[in-house]
Amino acid sequence: MTFPTIGMIGYGGIGRVHGMAYRSLPFHYGLPADAVRIGGVATTRAETAQAAAAELGCNFWTADYRELLAHPEIEAVDICVPNHMHAEIVEAAAAAGKHIYCEKPLAMNVAEAQRMVAAAARAGVKTQMTFNFRFYPAVLRARQLVEEGFLGRIFSFRGRYYRSSYIDPNKPISWRQQKAIAGGGTLFDIGSHILDMLYSVVGEFESVQATLDTLIKERPVGAGATERVAVDVDDIALLTLRTKAGVLGVVDASRMGTGLTNDIGFELFGEKGALRFSGLDPAWLEVYDVRDSDKPTGGMRGFRKIETVNRYAGQKAPDWSMAPDFVRTHAECQYQFLKAVAEDKPTQPTLADGLHIQAVMAAAERSSAEGRWVKVEEVLW
């Protein structure tokens, strides 16, 4: 099995995480050291590109991503740039015949996302989104249990993603808080993650009712600056959703979750049982089975913790009993992409999945603005 040679486009904080994950794959799966090859990197400045190449251990670097796309050895690109650049680069990569691995959210809006999906389909290249949290072993196990009918009819679901990254009103504004660059705020940045996690387990969403709010409406232009600029994206997103199967649920996403550094999780409630997952305790999936005895004495009914730990098929290191972590989910997401390309099999999640999440978020924005339920299909026409 021969993996495609990767070209990195963008190398900020998340780009470095992707690089770290690629480097770890040979250790995880007992592969030769050169099985996963990063052939080049492109950033917006020559000095950062050269520094990135030194870190990644590749010889080719450039300040123009088009040069990377033209490089004959590059077969797949990993796109880690701000959101407003995704569409241009994805379409160019597809035209160049490169397989595409793209950070979330897919695009700035649904129209862009549709163009990107169409471009990849025309080119016949494989695509995958960086929705890495669906690759926690506990989430994969939850999906398996749902598919096996463990819950029976699903009554409802609840999802959350809370961070405390912007609670300080004097924290300078970043590109993630500017609609022209990010496309949206909390909903796009972290809401897309919990929406995809639930999508992977409970299926496609049909409609949404949402409220989005900006809690800190202006921020300094830079560290120590007195000048302040308006924040034009949401700090908090509260969504009520209905799936195509008719299941009702709620999703909360906030970058103002004081005391919570990275709290993602969900609960599913069904006629035969319930499931709970927390990213703060990712080695376990909590399971409740109504078929357990509820006798006053000797009963076993109650939530129990199932060890899911590091159970990835084919993994050699770390030992399965060690708790998974954030970078490991990135590594698994990337490995499944590379493996699918090498074996000429379908990837998942694809840009089309990214388009669905984009449409759900667009419906949520319209719902918040118009104060009504919005069907996801409304924003696709």
Q: What is the pLDDT of residues 68-91, one digit of tens each?
A: 999 999 999 999 999 999 999 999
Residue range 313-336: mean pLDDT, rounded: 77
Q: Is residue 329 part of a domain?
A: no
Q: Is residue 163 part of a domain?
A: yes
Residues in CB range of 196: below 8 A, 6 or more apart? 104, 129, 131, 133, 134, 349, 353, 357
Residue range 43-70: mean pLDDT, rounded: 97
Boundary residue ending a domain (133, 150, 174): 133
Residue 301 confidence class, pLDDT cut points 50, 70, 90 = confident
- pLDDT confidence of residue 298: 62
- pLDDT confidence of residue 321: 56
Whether residue 102 is found in the same domain as residue 210? no
Give the domain extent around 167: 134-316+357-369
Residue range 133-151: mean pLDDT, rounded: 97
The better pLDDT of the pair 296, 172 is held by: 172
In the predicted structure, residue 317 carries a pLDDT above the cut 70 = no
- pLDDT confidence of residue 32: 95
How many other β-carbons are positioned within 10 Å of the β-carbon of residue 247? 21
- pLDDT confidence of residue 161: 96
Whether residue 225 is found in the same domain as residue 178? yes
Whether residue 161 is found in the same domain as residue 183? yes
- pLDDT confidence of residue 314: 86
In the predicted structure, residue 296 carries a pLDDT above the cut 80 = no
Model confidence, pTM: 0.89
- pLDDT confidence of residue 311: 82
Residue range 221-242: mean pLDDT, rounded: 96
Boundary residue ending a domain (133, 161, 182): 133
Whether residue 229 is found in the same domain as residue 276? yes
- pLDDT confidence of residue 345: 96
Residue 152 confidence class, pLDDT cut points 50, 70, 90 = very high
In the predicted structure, residue 300 carries a pLDDT above the cut 90 = no
- pLDDT confidence of residue 1: 82
Whether residue 154 is found in the same domain as residue 129? no
- The answer to which of 246-255, 262-271, 303-312 has the lowest mean pLDDT is 303-312
Whether residue 120 is found in the same domain as residue 210? no
- pLDDT confidence of residue 381: 72
Residue 343 confidence class, pLDDT cut points 50, 70, 90 = very high
Q: How many domains does the chain have?
A: 2
Whether residue 122 is found in the same domain as residue 155? no
Whether residue 156 is found in the same domain as residue 190? yes
Boundary residue ending a domain (80, 112, 133): 133
* SS3 of 38-94: EEEEECCCHHHHHHHHHHHCCCEEECCHHHHHHCCCCCEEEECCCHHHHHHHHHHHH
Whether residue 111 is found in the same domain as residue 243? no
Residue range 117-127: mean pLDDT, rounded: 98
Whether residue 96 is found in the same domain as residue 178? no
Residue 313 confidence class, pLDDT cut points 50, 70, 90 = confident
Residue 325 confidence class, pLDDT cut points 50, 70, 90 = confident
CATH number at 211 reads: 3.30.360.10
- pLDDT confidence of residue 310: 80
Residue range 176-190: mean pLDDT, rounded: 96
Residue 318 confidence class, pLDDT cut points 50, 70, 90 = low
Residue 143 confidence class, pLDDT cut points 50, 70, 90 = very high
Residue range 127-131: mean pLDDT, rounded: 97
Q: What percent of the chain has pLDDT over 70?
A: 97
- pLDDT confidence of residue 319: 60
- pLDDT confidence of residue 371: 95
Q: Is residue 378 part of a domain?
A: no
Tokens representing 259?
């005391």
CATH number at 80 reads: 3.40.50.720
Residue 95 confidence class, pLDDT cut points 50, 70, 90 = very high
Whether residue 299 is found in the same domain as residue 236? yes
Residue range 319-332: mean pLDDT, rounded: 74
**What's the chain's average pLDDT?**
94
Whether residue 123 is found in the same domain as residue 235? no
